[in-house]
């Protein structure tokens, strides 16, 4: 089916949440709508299959170093090769267009135990046409072959939806439609998404599927959503931290599921809640630069509407019996510990009194769930401060052992990935928790307020 510019406008409006006929759905409904890898089993040998792969990796000296995302694709690629399909993998590395996937292709070949052909220049950006030599390479490839395309962010078209607004779509749609049509006519008509971490509005993840005849979730990706994430949806304890005040939206969505009983909140994110809690008691807390309008363009800035949102969350949450455990001190830029940041200062870590308060909350959570028939679930997202700097690592460093305490007590402990996973590597051991996701942003989207873009795209492709 040829994708028209008009069709692409409608499609992208659905992606951006601007189409009333494509309302936001609970994560469960997206997952129920999308086929899984075995649904493609009837495809004959020699069928070209396009895989949006999790190739954003930095391979180390040997297999197992820096290539966890590449290894996560092995099951899906092996399935395809065993069926005799031609496997074409594409995706990005980093955010810089000049980065190359050449070394990733070499490591992927080592992991798969086969040759991986690498095409370094596959698209003509002037015409948005896939080059004839690329199409010829795919056409002549033997069944079971694996081909990797160079960094998709090398081309501007991959990134045009990152900051797009609905009003921008008519001028972008023609080029995006051309890209989708080029893929279906010259590469493949079957699309598998096996890039769990690829939560951005990359054209490869959200626009290319529109023209595909068949789509599916990859094996690893499906397992992440169908198994591990399902536990996190039922988490009774959430340790929530981060730099951005807008993560309050994600926290609000998680609370709305009705399972959370305790929230430990730290980082700049906690500022809105801490100020709101004080104002509800007729007091106030000075958040320093986080409440200074001169810093309104910074992610940590807490505007007045966030304070009001936090008040509503606290009032309604407490009425439902949810305990909010908030910081009572912090470490500012000069390394000193203060009760509140104060004018001109910025919070870079939680203080020792807050750490003790968090540990006590963990103790009470363990005690409250020691006799549960099914294991309780705790979800840990983010870190408590700028832990990369030794002056601001103590809050995070002192809390990581609390994860082990919960795991040892029979609680399922999940880490959202990203900085949370990095802090476990630095201050703990892998077996201190139940599971660490490889993509914190995707997990937070899935649990929070915004749908995962590629799940939206795959759902629309399935309905088409």
Q: What is the pLDDT of residue 276?
A: 95
Q: Are residues 279 and 392 part of one domain?
A: yes
Query: Within a domain: residue 422?
Result: yes
Q: Is residue 256 part of a domain?
A: yes
Please give the average pLDDT of every successive group of 10 residues along the chain, which has 464 residues: 93 93 89 97 98 95 92 97 98 95 97 97 97 98 98 97 96 98 98 93 97 97 92 90 80 86 90 95 95 92 92 94 96 95 94 97 96 92 90 95 97 88 91 88 78 95 87
Look at residue 446 and tell me if it is in a domain: no
3-state per-residue secondary structure call for the chain: CCCCHHHHHHHHHHHCCCCCCCCCCCHHHHHHHCCEHHHHCCCCCCCEEEEEECCCCCCCCCCCCCCHHHHHCHHHHHHHHHCCCEEEEECCCCCCCCCCCHHHHHHHHHHHCCCEEEECCCEECCCCEECHHHHHHHHHCCCCCEEEECCHHHCHHHHCCCCCCHHHHHHHHHHHHHHHHHHHHHCCCEEEEECCCCCCCCHHHHCHHHHCCEEEECHHHHHHHHHHHHHHHCCCEEEECCCCHHHHHHHHHHHHCCCCCEEEECCCCHHHHHHHHHHHCCCCCCCHHHHCHHHCCCCCCCCHHHHHHHHHHHHHHHHCCCEEECCCCEEECCCCEECCCCCCCCEEEECHHHHHHHHHHHHHHHHHCCCCCCCCEEEEECCCCCCCCHHHCHHHHHHHHHHHHHHHCCCEEEECCHHHHHHHHHHCCHHHCCEECCCHHHHHHHHCCCCCHHHHHHHHHHHC
360 and 274 in a common domain = yes
pLDDT value, residue 255: 87
Residue 241 within a domain: yes
213 with 256, same domain: the answer is no
What is the pLDDT at residue 447? Answer: 80
| Residues 84-110: tens digit of each pLDDT | 999 999 999 999 999 999 999 999 999
Domain membership of residue 443 (yes or no) is: no
Are 161 and 122 within one domain? yes
The answer to whether residues 239 and 168 belong to one domain is no
Confidence (pTM) = 0.87
- Residue 71 phi, psi (nearest 5): -65, -30
Do 137 and 241 belong to one domain?
no
With respect to residue 400, please indicate whether it lies within any of the assigned structural domains. Answer: yes
Q: What is the CATH number of the domain that holds 22?
A: 3.40.50.1260
CA distance 304 to 310: 10
In this structure, the answer to whether residues 336 and 261 fall within a common structural domain is: yes
Residues 9 and 188: their CA atoms lie apart, in Å, by 22
Domain check: are 200 and 258 in the same one? no
Question: Which of 398, 324, 386, 393 has the alpha carbon at shortest distance from 356?
Answer: 398
Query: Which among 98, 130, 136, 99 is positioned nearest to 117, based on CA atoms?
Result: 136
Q: What angle do CA 133, 139, 142 make, to 5 degrees?
A: 120
Shared domain for 50 and 174, answered yes or no, is: yes
Q: How many CB atoms lie within 10 A of CB 298?
A: 15
Is there a domain that residue 89 lies in? Answer: yes
Q: What domain range is 68 assigned to?
A: 5-226+451-463
Count of domains for the chain: 2
> Are 423 and 292 in the same domain?
yes
Q: For 365-395, what is each residue's pLDDT tens digit?
A: 999 999 889 999 999 988 899 999 999 999 9
Q: Are strands 337-338 and 330-332 parallel, antiparallel or unpaired?
A: antiparallel
Judgement on whether residues 184 and 264 belong to the same structural domain of the protein: no
Q: Convert the pLDDT of each residue in 319-368 to its tens digit.
A: 999 999 999 999 999 999 999 999 999 999 999 999 999 999 999 999 99
With respect to residue 445, please indicate whether it lies within any of the assigned structural domains. Answer: no
| Main-chain dihedrals φ then ψ at residue 338, nearest 5 degrees | -135, 160
Same domain for 339 and 221 = no
**Quick one: pLDDT at residue 408?**
97
């Amino acid at each position: 089916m040829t994708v028209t510019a008009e069709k692409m406008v409608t499609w992208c409006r659905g992606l951006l949440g601007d189409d009333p006929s494509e309302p936001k759905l609970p994560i469960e409904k997206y997952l129920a709508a999308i086929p899984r890898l075995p649904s493609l089993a009837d495809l004959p040998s020699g069928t070209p299959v396009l895989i949006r792969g999790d190739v954003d990796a930095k391979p180390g000296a040997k297999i197992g170093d820096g290539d966890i995302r590449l290894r996560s694709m092995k099951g899906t690629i092996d399935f395809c090769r065993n069926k005799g399909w031609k496997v074409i993998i594409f995706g990005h590395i980093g955010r810089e267009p000049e980065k190359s996937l050449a070394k990733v292709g070499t490591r992927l070949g080592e992991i798969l135990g086969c040759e991986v052909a690498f095409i370094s220049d596959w698209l003509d950006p002037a015409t948005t046409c896939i080059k004839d030599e690329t199409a010829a390479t795919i056409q002549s490839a033997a069944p079971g072959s694996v081909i990797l395309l160079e960094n998709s962010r090398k081309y501007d078209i991959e990134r045009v939806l990152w900051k797009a607004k609905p009003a921008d779509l008519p001028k972008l749609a023609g080029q995006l439609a051309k890209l989708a049509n080029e893929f279906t006519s010259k590469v493949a008509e079957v699309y598998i998404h096996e890039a769990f971490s690829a939560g951005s509005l990359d054209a490869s993840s959200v626009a290319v599927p529109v023209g595909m005849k068949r789509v599916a979730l990859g094996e690893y990706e499906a397992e992440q959503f169908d198994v591990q994430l399902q536990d996190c949806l039922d988490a009774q304890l959430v340790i929530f931290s981060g730099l951005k005040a807008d993560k309050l939206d994600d926290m609000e969505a998680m609370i709305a599921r009705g399972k959370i009983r305790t929230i430990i909140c730290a980082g700049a994110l906690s500022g809105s809640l801490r100020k709101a809690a004080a104002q509800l008691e007729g007091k106030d807390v000075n958040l320093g630069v986080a409440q200074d309008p001169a810093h309104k363009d910074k992610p940590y800035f807490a505007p007045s509407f966030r304070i009001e949102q936090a008040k509503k969350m606290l009032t309604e949450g407490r009425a439902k019996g949810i305990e909010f455990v908030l910081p009572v001190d912090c470490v500012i830029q000069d390394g000193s510990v203060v009760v509140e940041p104060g004018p001109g200062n910025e919070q870079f870590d939680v203080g020792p009194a807050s750490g003790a308060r968090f540990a006590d909350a963990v103790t009470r959570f363990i005690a409250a769930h020691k006799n549960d028939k099914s294991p309780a679930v705790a979800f840990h997202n983010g870190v408590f401060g700028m832990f990369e700097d030794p002056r601001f690592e103590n809050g995070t460093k002192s809390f990581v052992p609390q994860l082990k305490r919960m795991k040892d007590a029979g609680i399922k402990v999940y880490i959202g990935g990203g900085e949370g996973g990095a802090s476990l590597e630095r201050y703990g051991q892998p077996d201190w928790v139940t599971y660490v996701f490889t993509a914190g942003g995707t997990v937070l989207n899935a649990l929070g307020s915004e749908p995962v873009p590629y799940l939206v795209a795959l759902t629309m492709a399935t309905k088409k």
